[in-house]
Amino acid sequence: MEDMKTTQSISEIHIQADLLYATNRDEYQIYIESLSCDQMKSLDEHQRNERFTDPNFSYGAERVTCLLAGKQHHDLGEKHGDDSSDNAEAKPEKTKNKKKPLSGNVSFADMSLEKIEQLTQADTEILSSGFFEGTCLYVVGIKMNQPSITERLTEQFNSKMKKNQRRVLSFSRTQYCDSDSNNLYYINPKIESFKESINKKQYEFLMNLQKLKK
């Protein structure tokens, strides 16, 4: 087994570990214990990269977003309502392609008019974050109780209902960029190195928030 693993790529080791974990925990334990320290380090990095870049898995990015904003985050599998008990909802945006730069868009899956009203009345803080290749570049707090946001989401909802489309709704930086309530919780110290992975207008928005924070 040891000789075979030395020729396996980290991706192959990851797949094998997944299969064993899901089918035979005893064999999984033996397999993991037989990995070298370097292989374990590489496997850990591979798993975290997968979690933070996979568009269909948001828990890791949501948790980091909440923590960087100083908010509590729900445990995996125990979500009831908002992502945070601090009246906050994490909305990470991810990209691995500089041709599709981060834009500051906020999206909701299967949204309802009741949910829009609930978030608006509670003035829930949307934590909009940007991740490039798994690295968090910023976290911005956006208050939901803004007519421009509510109107945008409501219009989209009504339009999608008429067309019998899935209720995936979103609002853009245009709907919140002029608000005085925007709060820059975090900006990556090396954000200049990631400038090409952020939409120009979004980058200018972040830099302005940074200036106001100082």
pLDDT in tens for each of the 214 residues of the chain? Answer: 444 556 788 888 988 988 888 788 899 999 999 999 999 999 999 888 888 887 777 888 888 999 999 998 876 555 545 667 889 999 999 999 899 999 999 999 889 999 999 999 999 999 999 999 989 999 999 999 999 999 999 999 999 999 888 889 999 999 999 999 999 999 999 999 999 999 999 999 999 999 988 7
**Calpha distance 165→168 (Å, rounded):** 8
- Rounded to the nearest 10 degrees, the angle between the axes of helix 10-23 and helix 37-53 is 80
Question: Which pLDDT does position 18 carry in this prediction?
Answer: 83
**Calpha distance 182→51 (Å, rounded):** 28
Question: Which pLDDT does position 190 carry in this prediction?
Answer: 93
Question: Which pLDDT does position 2 carry in this prediction?
Answer: 47
Structural domains for the chain: 2-53 (no CATH), 73-213 (3.40.210)
**Per-residue pLDDT tens over the stretch 58-116:** 888 888 999 999 998 876 555 545 667 889 999 999 999 899 999 999 999 889 999 99
Number of H helices, E strands in the chain: 8, 6
Pairing assessment for the beta strands 88-95 and 106-108 based on DSSP bridges:
unpaired
> How many CB atoms are located within 10 Å of the residue 30 CB?
12
Question: Which pLDDT does position 49 carry in this prediction?
Answer: 84
Question: Which pLDDT does position 47 carry in this prediction?
Answer: 86
- Of 92, 110, 119, which Cα lies nearest the Cα of 161? 110
pTM, 2 dp:
0.83
